Structure 1
C-alpha cells in the first residue's frame, strides 16, 4: 500500500512539473531558438521537464506501468485550468469539455492498450532504421507546421513522436548497459544511440515549444496522445512486445481514441474562439474630451 501511495504521489509531481514547464514554454512560443536560449526562465522549464522524466522513471519502481501510464494525463488536467488562472480568467466550457473527453480517452487507451513482455533492445539495423525514419517523419511534420497559416498541431505530433523515440532508444541503452556492463557505453552503436537521444530530446522540446504559440491546450493534448501511441507501435513492431487486448478491448480502444480526437477538436475550437474574440475597447481617458 505504501508503494502505491508513493507511485501516485510521484505521478502527481511529474504532472505538475510537466504542466508548469508547458506553461512557461507557451509564454515564449513566439520566439526563435536563438532568442529562447537567452531567456533564463526557459531553462527552468527545461529543468522541470528533466525533473519530470526522472520522477517518471522513479515511479516505475513503486507501481505498475498499467497505473503509471494512465496517470500521465494529469498533465493536461493541471495545465488547462492553470493556464486559465495565470491568464486571470475562467476556463471556458469548450476547454473543460475538451479536457474531460481527452482525459477519458487517453486514460482508457493507456489502460487498454498495454504492452507486455520482457524489456528488449533494438538490434543495430532496427536502431539505425528507426532513427532514419524518425528524422524523415519529424522533418516532414515540422515543415508542414512551418507553412503559412498551418496548424500548430503538426509540430505537436512531431514533438510527441520524437519524445517516444527517445524513450525507445533510452530503453535500448539502459537494458544493454544492464546486461553487458558499463563497457557497452563505448560501443559505436551505443554512442550513436545516445547522441540521437540528446538530439531528439532537443528537437522535441523545440517543436512542442513552437506548437504552443497559438494556445497550449490542444497541442499539449495531441503530444500526450501521440507519445504513448507511437511508443506502443515501436514496442510491438520492433521490441517484441504484444498488445494485451481482446476484440472487446480493441473496440473499447477505438471508442477511447474517438473520444480523445473529439476532445482535441474541442480544445482546438476553444483556442480558435479565443483568438477571434475582439479585445475590449479601452475606457476613454479623462483628459481627452469626448463628443456629447
Structure 2
C-alpha cells in the first residue's frame, strides 16, 4: 500500500507541477497580482484545474499511505516542473537541471525504502487541530511580513515557504479526514489554509523566480507535514541506526538536489516570455 500511495502521490505531483508552471507563467511580472485578473486568463485557469487534479490524487494517496511517505513525494514535482517550465520558455532543460533532478530522485527512493509500515488510524483532537491551524497561520504571517521590501528572489522563497507550511497543515487535516474522522468543522476548515496558500503562491510567482519559489514550496510542504504527522498523529519515522542514517542521507540528497535545481532553473523575469 505504501508503494501504491507513493505512485498516486507522484502522479499528483506531475499535475501539480504542470499547473504551477502555467500559473507562474501568467503571474510573472505582475505587481501584486489579483486573483480576479488571473482568473480571466485561460492558461491560469488550466493550471488551476491541473493543480486541483493533483491535489485530488494526493488526498487519495493519503488514504493508503502515511504523511511521512506521501508528502515527500511532492518534491518530485520539481522533476516534472523542468519540462513544463522549459516548454513554456521554449528551451530544453539544462544538464545541471537534469543532474539535480537525478539527485532528488535518488533521495526520494531512499526515503520511501526506510519508512516503516503503519496501520493505526490517525487521530487529531479539536484542541490539536486548532493549534495546528493557528500555528500554520502564525508562521505564514511572519513569513509574509518578512518578505516585504526584499529582493524578488528572497520574496519568492519566503512567500512560497509560507504557502508550503499551509499546504502541510492542510495535508495533515486531510490525512485525518480520509481515514474516517467525521468532524464537520474539520471538513470545513481544511480548504482554508490551502486557499490562503494559493494567494501566497501567486505573490511568489509574480516575482518571476519560479525555481526558488517552487523549490521552497516543495521542501516546506513535506517537511511541515512529516513533522506534524510524527508529532500530532503518531506516524512512524525510521528506527534503528541503519534506517536513521539512510533516511538522513536520503533527506540530505533531496535537499541538496532541490537547492541545486532552484539555482539552475533560469525562470526569472529576464527569461519569462511575455504572456500578454
- The normalised TM-score by structure 2 is 0.79
Tell me how far 1:114 sits from its aligned partner: 5.5
Aligned to 1:284: none
Tell me how far 1:27 sits from its aligned partner: 0.7
Matches within 5 A, 1:233-252: 233-252=227-246
1:71 and 1:107 in contact (8 A); partners too: no
Aligned to 1:228: 222
Q: Return the match for 1:267 from 250, 255, 261.
A: 261
Tell me how far 1:133 sits from its aligned partner: 0.9
**Aligned partners of 2:197 and 2:121: how far apart in 1?**
24
**Aligned partners of 1:176 and 1:57: how far apart in 2?**
14
What secondary structure, in the 3-state scheme, does the structure 2 residue paired with 1:244 have?
coil
Out of 119-128 and 207-216, give the one that drifted further: 207-216
What secondary structure, in the 3-state scheme, does the structure 2 residue paired with 1:116 have?
coil
Tell me how far 1:7 sits from its aligned partner: 6.8
Give unmatched runs, 5+ long, in structure 1: 178-183, 280-292
Matches within 5 A, 1:1-292: 10-11=8-9, 13-30=11-28, 31=30, 32-33=33-34, 34-59=36-61, 72-113=74-115, 116-149=118-151, 150-174=154-178, 175-177=180-182, 184-185=183-184, 190=185, 193-212=186-205, 213-271=207-265
Give unmatched runs, 5+ long, in structure 2: none
Tell me how far 1:204 sits from its aligned partner: 1.4
**Aligned partners of 1:7 and 1:255: how far apart in 2?**
23
**Aligned partners of 1:237 and 1:278: how far apart in 2?**
42
**Aligned partners of 1:258 and 1:59: how far apart in 2?**
24
Change (3 A) 1:11 1:253: closer
Larger RCO of the pair (alpha carbons < 8 Å, separation 6+):
2
Aligned to 1:282: none
- The normalised TM-score by structure 1 is 0.75
Alpha-carbon displacement from aligned partner over 1:211-249 (angstroms, at most 9, x marks no partner):
333333333233222222211211111112232322222
**Aligned partners of 1:24 and 1:228: how far apart in 2?**
22
Out of 152-161 and 206-215, give the one that drifted further: 206-215
What secondary structure, in the 3-state scheme, does the structure 1 residue paired with 2:27 have?
coil
Q: Report how many aligned residue pairs link the two structures.
A: 263
What secondary structure, in the 3-state scheme, does the structure 2 residue paired with 1:28 have?
helix
Tell me how far 1:12 sits from its aligned partner: 5.5
Q: CA RMSD in A?
A: 3.3
Change (3 A) 1:140 1:210: same
Out of 18-27 and 77-86, give the one that drifted further: 77-86
Tell me how far 1:56 sits from its aligned partner: 3.0
